[in-house]
Amino acid sequence: MILRLMMFLFLVSAFFCNALAQKLPKNDIVFKAMKSEMLRTMNKLQLDNLKKPYFVAYYVDSSTAYHVSASFGDIKNEKISVTRYGKVDIRIGTKKFDNSRYIGNNFHDYKPFGGSLPIENDYDAIRKSLWLLSDKAYKDSLQKYSQKDSYRQKRNIKEIYGDMTDEKSRIYIEAPKKPENFGFKDYCGKIKELSNLFRKYPDLKSSDISFVWGLDTVRFINSEGSLYKTHSRGVIIIASLKTQNKDGYAVLGSKDFIYEKPSDIDFAKLREDIEKMAENYSKFSRSENINFYVGPAIFEGEAASEFFNQLFVKNISFSPAPWAEKDSYLKYYYDIPKLADKIQMRIFPPFISVYDNPLQEKYEGTILIGNYKIDGEGVIPEKLELVERGRLRNIYLSRTPYKKFNKSNGHGRMTGDSFPTAGAGNVFINSEKKASYAKLKKKLIQMGRALELDYVVIIKSVKKYTDGQKYLGDPVLAYKLDLKTKMESPLNIVEFEGITMRALRDIVLTSDKSEVYNFFQSNPYTYSGGIYPTSIISPSAVLVGEIELKKTDKKPDKLPYLKHPFFSK
């Protein structure tokens, strides 16, 4: 029996080797090294009489990047980097129960096994690096499997949905994107000019402009026969600043401007956007205090996008909680998806519908950075209907099974330093109840007067990250709209009070215009720290029936004893 099994495994691995060899890109030394070491790991890696791997995957990311940053009209740093990073996933056991998703006691060690690889296409050097990573990963997998099995028995866990779904093997080789020639020094000068704009704003305490251009090639191969090779390119310009009001409360502002290539940058438009940002944050220095507010509010711009992201998108990105000896600590390290169990339930008003289509590359001429043709685990995505007339129909799924879902829907997102987790691609949020911004604002005023309020609130920016205890990041820039004078004035630091998923159902009306919000989504595991490109296409403004705001409990910082030297001349 053992001899027959060994012969079967040999024939399967030989067939796989021949089949895969025909599909590998010609003259791709990196893929050749990955395949060779993966087959050796599958066939020969075994310690004494312990379990062999049942699944192996390699992921290699090769990147070239140019970075320059400037502050107040002067260059802070400039560098070009070339890197190659690899990681390995080795599974012990079976798809029903393996070593994955177990933390134990050390939360900070819950990361994929990865490390730097040689940047030259040296077959032997790359294999050596992958061999060392595989050896560490295998030893850790054996230990984790034993610990996880003991944990299961100790806790008498009966409800197990499995650790990996069955999926078809896929081959996807993407044509390389031709890099665009541009002068590094020219763009260095342009970034310097942009940072010089902040010299007009004495209320800003600090300001920076960063420019990052990058090219990436990702290779993936697994023992089931899937492989892919993808290419990406992009430019990110980051404007960040800090201001402080008369009470000492500080506000940090940051905005990402994302482009596919340098020639797509409209520097005249970029200057306008950065100056508008600087003006908005400068107004905070003259902000007004409020103690408490209960009433309607408009979320506009990035605040509207983050409203949908934090309350909806992140909460249907199903990634099951890993097992930990101190599971009470998970609340500090893991964002629990709060809507995953609400399939077929109403989570929005009936005039809202949502779908995700990662295959779409642009929306009305704007690039969607959440687009991809194959996900991180080698599964091909399709258009996914998420919400139909307010009811949740689907959630994002990776190859990690969940209750009645035993198939991935192509949303296993990952990067070199993170485990694959279910996540969004391009999220399209559509409303059947919409109006112009002017009418939206008029409706806000009517609702405020009906409640006999003195003012209503417009929120233009919220924090992109929470402390894990809140559903939505607190306002960064919020304005009170006086119902008598119709004047807008900035609010001092305020916090949301008691905001929950209910806010999604409290949407009253949306704007008739949509905008693209390109950003980098963080995965739910704080300790692995991976981020992946995501796009949300949503109404540019949303009227919510009721929110609660309160004055912050945080203590202010001391104001500088001396004025900014440039503005004290």
Compute CA distances 169 → 94, 225, 523, whole Å.
18, 5, 25
Residue 12 has pLDDT above 60, yes or no: no
Q: Quote the CA–CA distance of 220 and 372 in Å, as a whole number.
A: 14
pLDDT at 248: 86
Rounded to an integer, the average pLDDT of 78-93 is 96
Rounded to an integer, the average pLDDT of 324-330 is 86
Rounded to the nearest integer, the mean pLDDT of the chain is 91
Q: Quote the CA–CA distance of 318 and 420 in Å, as a whole number.
A: 11
Domain boundaries, the chain: 2-238, 287-551
SS3 state of residue 460: strand
Confidence of residue 4 (pLDDT cuts 50, 70, 90): very low
Q: What's the fold here for domain 2-238?
A: PmbA/TldD fold (3.30.2290)
Rounded to an integer, the average pLDDT of 191-220 is 94
Residue 110 has pLDDT above 90, yes or no: no
pLDDT at 109: 79
Rounded to an integer, the average pLDDT of 312-327 is 89
Compute CA distances 50 → 18, 98, 125, 129, 159, whole Å.
28, 14, 29, 24, 26
CB 392 within 8 A of CB 345: yes
Q: What percent of the chain has pLDDT over 70?
A: 95
Q: Quote the CA–CA distance of 206 and 395 in Å, as a whole number.
A: 41
pLDDT at 21: 44
Q: Which amino acid, 217?
A: T
Q: What percent of the chain has pLDDT over 90?
A: 74
pLDDT at 336: 81
Residue 560 has pLDDT above 90, yes or no: no
Of 554, 483, 540, 542, give the one whose Cα is nearest residue 510. Answer: 542
| Tokens 């993407």 sit on residue | 174
- Which of 28-37, 114-123, 331-340, 513-522 is predicted least confidently? 331-340
Q: Quote the CA–CA distance of 282 and 243 in Å, as a whole number.
A: 7
Those residues with Cβ within 8 angstroms of residue 34's Cβ, 6 or more apart along the chain or in another chain: 58, 60, 126, 130, 219, 221
Residue 23 has pLDDT above 70, yes or no: no
Rounded to an integer, the average pLDDT of 297-310 is 97
Q: pTM for the full model?
A: 0.92
Rounded to an integer, the average pLDDT of 124-138 is 97
Secondary structure, 3-state, 183-250: CHHHHHHHHHHHHHHHHHCCCEEEEEEEEEEEEEEEEEEECCCCEEEEEEEEEEEEEEEEEECCCCCE
pLDDT at 14: 37
Rounded to an integer, the average pLDDT of 62-80 is 94
Residue 13 has pLDDT above 60, yes or no: no
Confidence of residue 15 (pLDDT cuts 50, 70, 90): very low
Read off the tokens for 7.
Answer: 């012969």
Residue 164 has pLDDT above 50, yes or no: yes
First vs last C-alpha separation in the chain: 89
pLDDT at 468: 66
Residue 22 has pLDDT above 50, yes or no: no
Rounded to an integer, the average pLDDT of 434-456 is 97
Compute CA distances 382 → 49, 379, 419, 421, whole Å.
43, 10, 22, 17
Read off the tokens for 481.
Answer: 């709209």
> Is pLDDT larger for residue 321 or for residue 90?
90
